[in-house]
Structure 1
Amino acid sequence: MNETMVCAVGRVATQPVYREMASGPSARFRLAVTARYWDREKNLWTDGHTNFFTVWANRQLATNTAASLTVGEPVIVQGRLKVRTDVREGQSWTSADIDAVSIGHDLAWGTSAFRRGGRPETTTAPTQSEPNWETPPNGSATAADAPPQQPAEAAVLT
């Protein structure tokens, strides 16, 4: 319950690796987060230290991550921070992982076109079209007079 949630803004450093696991899809990639600061002496922006995080995505987020991200793209990642330390062959190392809850392109650097991902196949009731919630202008039109509705899955966000 008391987890460390972080929001990291950086660039995709490695191509996402997608795997089908017994528990469902999983994807991971490295995120480079570089601090920038204003150097008064040089009168320009300067890059500071770069931190690298391994970002883990699961289930539908993993599928969408693998299909959407490529190296170098600016992204925003929100998730749970996991810091691990270990000693291997006499050397101590520390890794910082983010168990992602949300991943998206950073629109401060460009544009992105959203496409709704495919939904898993279900064997329950067939999908129904969205009902017409608009009130007719004169209040006397019947349902037969209403224009046909598109299924919700066919709607395109622009």
Structure 2
Amino acid sequence: MNETTVCVVGNVATRPVYRETVSGPAARFRIAVTSRYWDREKSAWADGHTNFFTVWANRQLATNAAASLSVGEPVIVQGRLKVRTETREGQGWMSADIDAVSIGHDLARGTSAFRRAQRPEQAPVPELPEPNWESGTGNAATAAGTAPQRRPEPATVT
């Protein structure tokens, strides 16, 4: 419906905490997001205010985030913003949480090596021969008059 979606760029501020719950894996970590601005007096970039958000991830995203993220790494997080206010023992507090849909390393600030997560129920996909694109004749199956086989799409689990 009318949810506030955000995309924040910052650094992992706390080690991801991973838990197995009855509804599946869950992970949380804090992200520090600092604005930058051009200081005309100093003719240099300067840091502005730092905002901290708690990022919540569920299911496979939680598993992959816990295995991939470390404190200090630059990340991009996209998800739904949830601002909560509560009163505990007479003290009021507010928290800004992000229910993550996607989390990734910020490749503008470094490199990363992607490894596809293997699911136990996922069988390996057989490799098909590559067509001969330069000659335009296709692969051996096309030359023999049979239609080329398509690779099956992997099943997605949500």
| Both proteins in one fold, TM over 0.5 | yes
The alignment's C-alpha RMSD in Å is 2.4
Q: Percent identity?
A: 72
CA separation of 1:139 and 1:130: change in aligned 2, threshold 3 A: closer
Aligned to 1:96: 96
CA separation of 1:43 and 1:97: change in aligned 2, threshold 3 A: same
Q: Which residue identity lines up with residue 120 of structure 1 in the other structure?
A: P
TM-score by length of 2: 0.81
Unaligned runs of 5+ in 2: 145-150, 153-158
After superposition, the C-alpha distances for 1:60-105 in whole angstroms (9 at most, x for unaligned) are 1001000100000000000000000011122211100000000000
Secondary structure, in 3 states, of the residue corresponding to 1:2?
A: coil
CA separation of 1:88 and 1:121: change in aligned 2, threshold 3 A: same
Equivalent positions of 1:81-92 (< 5 A) are: 81-92=81-92
Equivalent positions of 1:6-155 (< 5 A) are: 6-121=6-121, 127-132=124-129, 134=131, 137=135, 138=137, 141-142=140-141
Unaligned runs of 5+ in 1: 146-150, 153-158
- Aligned pair count reads 143
Secondary structure, in 3 states, of the residue corresponding to 1:121?
A: coil
Shift of 1:120: 3.5
Measure, in 1, the Cα distance between the counterparts of 2:27 and 2:139.
54
CA separation of 1:43 and 1:117: change in aligned 2, threshold 3 A: same
